Chains A and B, each alone.
Chain A
Amino acid sequence: MLILRLAGRAIRWRAAASATVFAVAVLAILAATVGPIYLHAVDETVLARHLQDATVFQRDILVSRDSEPYRGGDPGADVRAVAGEVAQDRLFAPPLSEDEADVVFGGAQRFSSQIASIDDLCAHLRIVTGRCLSGPSTDQTLISAATAAAEHLTVGSTLASRTTTGVAIRLRVVGLYRPVAPSGAFWERWDLFQFGQRGSDNAPPPADAAFVTPTALSSRLQRVPQTLSANVALRSGAVGYDDIGELRATVARANAAVAHLTYQAGTTGASVPSVTTSLPTVLDQTATETSLARTLVTVATAQLALLAMFVLYAVVANTATAQGPEVALAKLRGRPTGSVLVQSVAQPVALVVIAAPVAALLAWIAVRLLAPRLLGHAVDVTFPPAAYGIAALAVLGGVLAAVVAARRIVMTPVGALMRLGAAPPASPLGLLVADATAVTLAVAGLIELEAGGVLDSGKPNPLSVLAPTLVAIAAAVVIMRLLPFLTRRLVRWTRDSPRLATFLAVRQLLRRPAETRAILLVAVAVSIAVVAVSIWAEGGHNRSLRAVNMAGADTVLIVRPGAGVEDLRTAVDRADPGGHAMAAAYTDVDQQPPLIAVDTARFASVGAWVPGNASPSLPSLLQRLGDGRPAPVAVTGTELRLRVEVIRHPSRPVHLAVTLAEPDHRQAVRTVAPVAPGTASYDISLPPTCVSGCSVSALDLTADTPLDPFGSPRHAGEIDAVIGASVRSHGGWQPLPSFGEGSRWHGDGKGPAAIATASTGVSLDVRQNPATATWPTVVSAAIPTTLPAVIASATAALYRGNDIHSVVALGLDGQVVSADGVFRSVTLPQVDRNGIMVDFGTALAAMDGPAADTTQYQVWLSPSAPSDMAARLARQHVYVTRAIHSSTYRPALDDSGPAFADALFLLAALAAVVLAVGATALGRVVSIRRRAYELAALEAVGISPRTLRRATAVEQGSIFGIGLLVGLAAGVAGARLALPSTPVFVDTSTGPPLVVGLPWALLAALAIGLVLVFAVVSVAIARLVGRAAAPSQLRGAQQ
């Protein structure tokens, strides 16, 4: 007891030192316990989100059974028994029983529906007319107001229905209802309100269920096949992460009960209940996500905790060492070794033990304050059992540190202790062995991480964040060991230089190599900070990229082109003449595979694209999608005049048909028949829409030829003609030179066709296919035969051998087109990994008709787009109906385990830096106090206080500087190793490939910030020298 009382007095006597030990102990234990507390909060958050996102079908447990074949007895008893088994779990609500029988209402109109009974029915229906069901009636029913109207029924009417087995059921309507919250939790489980929905082709349209009492159905069990169910709803709000095991056990119990019933039923043919739930899957998904966060949080906090324990060890060791004279006195007094040991450790251990609850409380408060920010919403922060364990371990670590530190002083012979006043310094050989061990373990750890596939394997593994710390430890220890060689040289160089402060600083570094061990602390903390910042930035960047990819662009405007806007690109070009702020796009995501058409000229500035998406560069990819086709032969006017010179032709009449594509892509065919031999002109009236611009799609030059009995021509025909064109516009005829260019046309391959440019028009030499008697069509070269496309990975995987050169898709007009997959990409904007991307113009040119109903017009905006884009589009008669911002997808991505872990890692790194700076500064302050006599003596011999301050600042700055450089280098090297394996997303099967890169600007800012902090601390420490070097210290030291 005396020892404890004395320890208490000693703690008060050395208030400053005690406060330091206490503060470091609090920080160390806080660092250790904040991880489990935060992790528990993450677990709870992730579980709550998964349960919230799950439908009732996934999270509730449904026990159901068909009544057929009827074997007598109560078929619902087994259902209730199994459901009751589940409901014993406090996490589930009491079972809700529902019986239903499929029927067809046979009134004025036939409807497919159900007759159903359900517990607590009247509380969830609003009775519009009449009353709710009451008593054990067997012939009363409630029908929906909608069904009543359709069947012309009212209260008092009879609802006639017939079961699927042909049993007629007549029920008296006692009330008409409307469901209360039909998509709410009560009704969601049962699909009973289907009126107005689309039914199957061979059945009458569906209607809302008619409700009866349970007696009404149970009394008909023998004749009416029924499904008897009991839903046991999960009380999501009451479920905590620690309940997961209990939930799994409950599901397993229900399945076991069903298995038992199945066994009992044996071969009797009786039906048995089944259990339907996806709860285990939901829990599995939760576990997968939390396990990613768990490892990362554990590694992050473990590193911080180890760093804190390292500092705690140093501080506790200092405290124990400072008790050297007292220990010497105790040994001189002949106190037993155990008593001396207790005396030595009593003070630090008492402080650590007192610090534990304080630290735990602070950790809880910290998580409680930070959780809403880090996790995005409020969460009930508890103190999990793991946190108690970790806190206890941390205390044990502190006690162990005290014992280890005290051991040396206790074991020192009393004579040596009295002479030195403290334990002799640690053996240099021992330190060398410790350092060599640290480097060996660090290197071995790195090799193990690499060999074990943790690093750079492309697979997420949170353990990868250990790499930078290991690199920092190895590098810092090596640098520390090399430092004396450097300082020895520097001492020689600076000895005769006028820079006395530098000499004093370097000499001190050489004299006290133990003090340079702070380099290790600073280096490790800085490396952790570098990695944490890199991971945080990488995670945020990739989540942004995924969000933009989900949207398609930074902002996507869903637009409605006004009258007269036939090509959205034209409107966009006018609204954004610069070409960098917006781009037109058409999508049809309802078809399979989903198709997206982008304006390849503007996509690079606006669209979502990640460099790793495809092997070629984006510009070359876009060029392949958009190039290679001539412009269409545009015809704008009211009439088309064709000058046809028929040079060679069969004996039968020659026909000429011109196919025109109207502005909305409808095809209009104009026929000139017959075409007279020689040269003649023919006027064709154009569709009215051609006033605003049509194009010539095809020319058909044909002739009737006699066929043999097998359908082949007796003599294959040939037509050789030159056709020129002019168009009537604004009252006059304008020549159409593009029509005569041979390069604007090509044959469709149904027969031989030679096309060339002639002086008066296009020269066509077409021949009939001798086998099929078909004539080739001369098609506009502007119309693609296939759509060059980029095929997303999941779509490409559907094709054998990834042969994506003939992908069948639906064009924007809803017609089948063939897409030539010129590139394969991991993901595509908006359609992710399932879809194809084509050039907007090419897709338009391939249209044979107006856009399909499912095609959506979009305008994509770049992040730098001006805010008045909607107004600019409106001026071009393009109206925005809805805007989708990529930022709307971001919260859901941020609400994930890895993101939560990143945030904590960043905070842990910040704490590590604070800890390292604080501990190093503290060590320096202690050192300066110990050197008070020396500093006073130096001042007494004429060295100015300013020089002493500068020397201290240089000395401190050197430690910080070296630590900073080593930490930055190790952090960068380690981050390069770790980033490819750092988990960013839980679901890695979607989204663009990860962009892995160091955030250099952010790291530069971090380095500058650290330099400033270190400079301020160094200067502050140097100011202490002024007081330490006071001449009064000489007298004090002598005493």
Chain B
Amino acid sequence: MTGSAGVGVRCDGVVHIYPASGEGLDDVVALRGIDLDIDPGEFVALLGPSGSGKSTVLGLLAGVLRPSAGRVLIGAHDIGRMAPRALARLRGSVVALVLQNPARNLLAYATARQNVAFAAGPSSASSGELLERLGLTALADRVAGQLSGGEQQCVAIAAALSSGAQLVLADEPTSQLDAAGRERVMELLAQVHADFGRTVVLVTHDLSVAARSARTVTIRDGRVGSEGVHGRDYAVVGRDGSLQLPPELCEEFPPGTLLEVRRDGRDVTLRPRAEESR
């Protein structure tokens, strides 16, 4: 269970629309065609401003949401085509989600050990053993509702691992934590990635947190805006050939600006029309 390898993720032109939640309101297009590939065992951070759609991506990967269009593949599982029961099984065995609010990841009245056991299901191995491997033995018999936010998130990560999930998704797991808690959680996620070989996808808007991952993907306006690899940011060419400019260039070249694309050897140069540059 805990020894399973990570699983790969692939999103092809994923669109997600939230239907209008009230009379007189419009539908909300959260994702406008995401293309994303995550290899098995990768540690990826999804970055982006509020409302960019990164949590929606995580919801889709967790099988909590279904894409309005496009395909979401978790290993060989096509989320959009799976029956609800199969999705539930997927969530119980392949994917695990750690939510932003520590309290909502756990049963407040249960001990850490019971929470891990509850997440693991009947076929799981000893929850005590897992907690010990993660260095959380001291928390094992404490009631979750009485733990600090950081401790709760650590137990939540342990619970996520307990089901044997190959893909661990974490939605801003450190946003409500102090520095120490944040550090502890990130160490644990790194351990999950390094020691357990799980694929980890982390949503955050905290660059320092994102820096702990090998790869960052920035979501902007429902699309993949850029990717960072080993500290360098890259624009991503979409399947349709589209390209998002970095935010600072967007200010310089407002929407509607005509850019001339020139290739110069290995370089590609974007140059505004002469009249407009003048």
Contact = CB atoms under 8 A, between A and B. Distances in A.
Contact of A2 (B91, B108, B117): B117
B166 interface: no
A329 B107 contact: yes
Given A332-B97, A415-B64, A418-B64, A6 B107 contact: yes
A197 interface: no
B176 A1039 contact: yes
Interface in A396-441: 413-415, 418
B118 A13 contact: no
B59 A335 contact: no
Interface residues of B, number: 32
B93 A325 contact: no
Interface in A188-229: none
B107 A334 contact: no
A5 B114 contact: yes
Q: Which of A6, A14, A329, A335 has the most CB of B within 10 A?
A: A329
Contacts of A326: 107
Interface string B70-94: 0000000000000011001111110
Contact of B65 (A2, A12, A415): A415
A13 B90 contact: no
A415 B87 CA distance: 12
B253 interface: no
A336 interface: yes
A330 B92 CA distance: 9
A256 interface: no
Interface string A320-333: 00000110111111
A2 B89 CA distance: 19
Contacts of A13: 108-109, 143, 145
Contacts of A331: 88, 91
B109 A12 contact: yes
A418 B119 CA distance: 17
B252 to A, nearest CB: 38
Interface residues of A, number: 25
Contacts of B99: 418
A329 B105 contact: yes
A10 B64 CA distance: 26
A13 B90 CA distance: 31
A326 B104 CA distance: 8
Contacts of A10: 107, 109
A859 B62 CA distance: 96
Interface string B25-59: 00000000000000000000000000000000001
Contact of B110 (A6, A14, A335, A415): A6
A95 B117 CA distance: 73
Given A13-B109, A334-B91, A334-B92, A329 B104 contact: yes
A152 to B, nearest CB: 100
B163 A415 contact: no
Interface in B114-155: 114, 117-119, 121, 143, 145
A335 B92 contact: yes
Contacts of A90: none
Q: Which of B64, B99, B121 has the most CB of A within 10 A?
A: B64
A375 to B, nearest CB: 47
A9 interface: yes
Given A333-B91, A333-B92, A14 B97 contact: no
B176 A9 contact: no
A980 to B, nearest CB: 52
Contact of B109 (A9, A328, A332, A334): A9
Nearest to B96: A333
A815 to B, nearest CB: 95
Nearest to A417: B64
Contacts of A9: 109-110, 114, 143
B93 A2 contact: no
B114 to A, nearest CB: 6
B118 A332 contact: no
Contact of B89 (A334, A413, A418, A1039): A334
A333 B119 contact: yes
B81 to A, nearest CB: 17
Interface string B174-211: 00100000000000000000000000000000000000
Contacts of B159: 333
Contacts of B93: 334
A2 B109 contact: no
A2 B114 contact: yes
A654 B118 CA distance: 130
Contacts of B145: 13
A332 B64 contact: yes
B104 A325 contact: yes
B163 A334 contact: yes
Nearest to B120: A333
Interface in A1-28: 2, 5-6, 9-10, 12-14
Contacts of B109: 6, 9-10, 12-14
Contacts of A337: 85, 88
Contacts of B88: 331, 334-337
B121 A335 contact: yes
Interface string A228-255: 0000000000000000000000000000
Interface in A1005-1039: 1039
A1039 B177 CA distance: 11
Interface string A336-349: 11000000000000
A9 B114 CA distance: 11
A269 B93 CA distance: 95
Contacts of B117: 2
B178 to A, nearest CB: 13
Contacts of A6: 107, 109-110, 114, 118
A14 B176 CA distance: 25
Nearest to B119: A333
Contacts of A415: 59, 64-65
Interface string A290-331: 000000000000000000000000000000000001101111
Contacts of B89: 334
Contacts of B118: 2, 6, 330, 333
A334 B95 CA distance: 9
Interface in A496-546: none
B204 to A, nearest CB: 19
Contacts of A334: 88-93, 121, 163
B62 A332 contact: yes
B55 to A, nearest CB: 10
A328 B104 CA distance: 9
A644 to B, nearest CB: 115
A334 B162 CA distance: 13
A330 B64 CA distance: 12
B181 to A, nearest CB: 14
A215 to B, nearest CB: 86
Contacts of B65: 415
Contacts of B92: 333-335
A393 B163 CA distance: 40
A330 B107 CA distance: 9
A1010 B75 CA distance: 67
A1021 to B, nearest CB: 27
A418 B99 CA distance: 10
Q: Which of A334, A337, A418 has the most CB of B within 10 A?
A: A334
Nearest to B176: A1039
A12 B108 CA distance: 12
B87 to A, nearest CB: 8
Nearest to B149: A1039
7 contacts: A6-B114, A329-B104, A331-B91, A332-B64, A334-B88, A336-B88, A337-B88
| A-B complex: 5 closest residue pairs judged by Cβ atoms | A334-B92, A13-B109, A334-B91, A9-B109, A334-B88
Given A13-B145, A332-B62, 8 more contacts: A13-B143, A328-B104, A332-B91, A332-B97, A333-B121, A334-B88, A337-B88, A418-B64
Interface of A: 2, 5-6, 9-10, 12-14, 325-326, 328-337, 413-415, 418, 1039
